[in-house]
Amino acid sequence: MAGSNGDWLRVRGIGRERFAGYLAEYLESIGYRVERNETAEPPLSRLTATLVRTTPSVPPAAAELSFRVLPTSGGAVARWEGPTSLPADQRPRMDRLVREMETHLERSVFTESHATAKIVRPPSPHLPWIEAPPSPESAEPVSASL
């Protein structure tokens, strides 16, 4: 896992319901039908998105997406739940889709909150198909030859 806590994106200054709403609106705008489930205990928003309008920028592995949005002190965190793997040939398109989602969410949150809220990307965001870089402890020692 790339991030030890599973966070994909964090937001400061708005709650989970509003952040989940921004994510759902964006997914609907690019061709997904979004089902949103809210629970009070534990407090979370679960989004499940199914692609209903084919878009060339969306790889086949992204036909079904799922996210969990949880409250944090002062904001919310989005966790990517699915897909958890994808074929190597679809990785560039998925990476682009993720970047577009992040950029759109940053703009939406910043604009709608009149610059009082912002997206905070964790240093090591967790996307399930990205493997964690090897830890220094697991790296084999490199011996210098003279």
What's the confidence (pLDDT) of residue 62? 94
Residue 115 lies in a domain: yes
Q: What is the pLDDT of residues 77-86, one digit of tens each?
A: 999 999 988 8
Comparing 4 with 75, the larger pLDDT belongs to 75
**Entry pTM:** 0.81
What average pLDDT score do residues 59-79 get? 93
What's the confidence (pLDDT) of residue 5? 59
Q: What is the pLDDT of residues 13-37, one digit of tens each?
A: 999 999 999 999 999 999 999 999 9
Residue 3 lies in a domain: no
Contact between 28 and 51 under an 8 Å Cβ cutoff? The reply is no
Domain extent for 56? 9-120
Comparing 116 with 132, the larger pLDDT belongs to 116
**What's the CATH code of the domain at 16?**
3.30.310
> What string of DSSP letters covers the chain?
--STT--SEEEESS-HHHHHHHHHHHHHHTTEEEEEEEETTTTEEEEEEEE-S--TTS-GGGSEEEEEEEEETTEEEEEEEE-----GGGHHHHHHHHHHHHHHHHHHHHHHTTTS-EEE--SS---TTSPPPPPTTTSPPPPPP-
Overall domain count for the chain:
1
Residue 55 lies in a domain: yes
Residue 143 lies in a domain: no
